[in-house]
Structure 1
Amino acid sequence: MSTETIHVLKDLNFTEYEAKAYLALLEKSPLSGYAISLSSGVPRSKIYEVLAGLVDRGEVMMSHENPVLYSPLPPNELIALRKRKAEVSFDVAEKALEHYSFVSLNRGNIWNISGNEAVVSRAKEVIKHAKERILLEIWKEDAEEIKEELREAHDRGVEILIVSYGEIDFDFGQMYPHDASEEITKEYGGRWIILSADDREVLAGIVSLGENSRAAWTTHPSLVMPITEVIIHDLYIHEMLKEHREILEQSFGPHLIDLRKRFNVGPSGYSIAAKLGLTT
């Protein structure tokens, strides 16, 4: 028996003695406990205790004769058995720990997420745990990365409202195309995500800078409330433009561009995007 195979079994939570006994049985079976001890190198004083543990777990079978003989569960059946047990254990643990999913978070902390991959991964986790409502502002290309998680949330009854930059053609959820998508993309030279789940957890940040992407994730009420309100505010604007576009554009230009220009440049003359280093 190879040392490498013993290590593989130890990674499956076999003890070294259990791994040696099981492998000895794979090489030749059925065998008595005494014969297994001789072929595996497991001390005689330990072999019956080791075999009893394997039998209890259903990984070795024993006969009811004298002497008792042992035979191993075939490797494919052993792996299938371990997988089933692991899945059951994960399900039980998930249900047992669900109560602590938000309690365990320090509500006084704001967590920094670095890198596009990590930001997207955190967005997926936030979506997976949503139970009532998801509010989301996102660009089309980034929405594709979390599409399946959003679909699963929709299928379990979560309301999904998306303010979309670019045309997102999902066959679920409610879409609210942002009227100035192209202008905003040009102004900032980058893309962001704003995500609110159940009005109690938010993720907000830049997703278009690769490894330099940054986002903040928190359940702190003092940030959850205003960040959620940002999305709701854009939903208001969408509905007002839908009903009164002509009047509003007479006052503020196409897509309210004059209104954006009025507030997108600070006293120093630099745009917000330039201050953030998002433009060249």
Structure 2
Amino acid sequence: MSAHDAVAALKQLGLSNYEARVFVALQRLGTGTSQEVSETSEVPRSQVYGAADDLAERGLVEVVESSPKRYRPVSLDAAREQLRSRIEREHERAFENLESVRNERADRTDEGDVSTLHGRHAVHERVAALVERASEQVVLIAGDADLLSEDVEAALRERAAAGIPVVVVTQERVVERRFADAPVRVVVAPPDRTRGFTGRTLLVDDATVLLSVRTDDGGEPFEETALWTADTRIGRILAEFIHAGMQSGFEGEYPGAE
């Protein structure tokens, strides 16, 4: 990695441009005066003082009280821990503030709305949240076992325990074993019946639907893109298609199939 790349990476971790350049320069020098740091970093000498002092406040640089004043970086392990702790603190502060201002309607769609999501964890969370709202029926088609996160599995179990009919269609027997102690109906279908589908289809109460597909080449960890709509006319239309497909493809195994 070049010095330029190192500066860019440090800026991503929250350092200013001058701070990052001074810190990288000190890694090269080991210790140095403002003049030496300026020459190595190409940061104006007048700006080195402020950047170095800010780095010292962050716990990344030691200030050697000599004449002239010299600066020395802490070890890379210490710097790594300092930056990690700072990021974690900022992360917690940011999400605490977001939680306090979060709109209670943020998780709901308006009539006719269709929302999209990107990322496996975001889709896991949305599937679990939609399942938790079920009051009539849940149908989840998830070919692979890794599409059933702990939160999704817990939501399915909770709804089934509450007396809500829950059906899970999968290609893997391990899913059947995971729900062996729960009143969840698991249909294990070979790939030719699911047509090798690698995403997931969720139907909740005949009006809430989520459809997702993998968005990579099948490697791990996979990424996922989903669209969903809750309690809408579009959802009811999609629900009819899902019911029809399930009844024709899983005759005798799907509730309502003749």
TM interval, shorter chain, is 0.5 to 0.7
| Superimposed CA distance per residue, residues 105-157 of structure 1 (whole angstroms, 9 cap, x where no aligned partner) | 6524532659xxx6966541314557956664124634542233424x46xx9
- Does 2:177 align with 1:169? yes
Q: TM-score, normalised by structure 1?
A: 0.57
Compared with structure 1, are the counterparts of its residues 94 and 140 closer, same or farther at alpha carbon in structure 2 (3 Å cutoff)? same
Could you tell me how far apart the structure 2 residues matched to 1:106 and 1:139 are?
22
Report if aligned partners of 1:21, 1:40 keep a CA contact under 8 Å in 2. yes
Amino acid in the other structure paired with 1:137: V
1:217 is matched with which residue? 228
Alpha-carbon shift at residue 23 of structure 1 (Å): 1.8
Q: Is the 1:51–1:60 Cα contact (8 Å) retained in structure 2?
A: yes
* Paired AA for residue 12 in structure 1: L
> Which whole-Å CA distance do the structure 2 matches of 1:22 and 1:119 have between them?
34
Q: 1:131, 1:260 → 2: CA distance?
A: 22
Q: Which residue of 2 aligns with 1:203?
A: 209
Whose helix proportion is higher, 1 or 2? Answer: 1
Q: Output one character per residue of 1:158-178: Cα deviation in whole Å (capped at 9) or x when no partner.
A: 824331236622157541246
CA distance 1:108–1:70, shift in 2 (3 Å): farther
| Residue 72 (structure 1) shift | 0.9
Letter in structure 1 aligned against 2:63: M
Larger radius of gyration: 1
Query: Given the superposition, is the C-alpha separation of residues 36 and 177 from structure 1 closer, same or farther in structure 2, using an over 3 Å criterion?
Result: closer
Contact 1:17 1:50 in 2 (8 A): yes
Is 1:124 matched with 2:135?
no
Cα-to-partner distance string for 1:72-119 (whole Å, 9 max, x where unaligned): 1222332332223223322332333233374376524532659xxx69
For 1:12-65, what per-residue CA distance to the aligned partner results, in whole angstroms no more than 9, with x for missing partners? 343332222112211223333333224333222211111122122222122345
Which AA in structure 1 matches 2:126? V
CA separation of 1:150 and 1:41: change in aligned 2, threshold 3 A: same
Cα RMSD (Å): 4.8
Distance 2:185 2:65 in 1: 71
Structure 1 residues 72 and 129: CA distance shift in structure 2, 3 A: farther
5+ residue gaps, structure 2: 161-165, 218-223, 243-250
What 5-or-longer segments of structure 1 have no aligned partner?
232-253, 262-280
Structure 2 letter corresponding to 1:85? R
Determine if the alignment matches structure 1 residue 53 to structure 2 residue 45. Answer: no
SS at match of 1:193: strand
Shift of the 129–36 alpha-carbon distance from structure 1 to 2, 3 Å rule, reads farther
8 Å CA contact retained: 1:159, 1:173: no
CA contact (8 A) 1:21 1:51 kept: yes
What's 2:30 paired with?
29
- Contact 1:31/1:70 (8 A) holds in 2: yes
Are residues 36 and 220 of structure 1, via their aligned partners in 2, closer, same or farther at CA, if it must alter by over 3 Å?
same
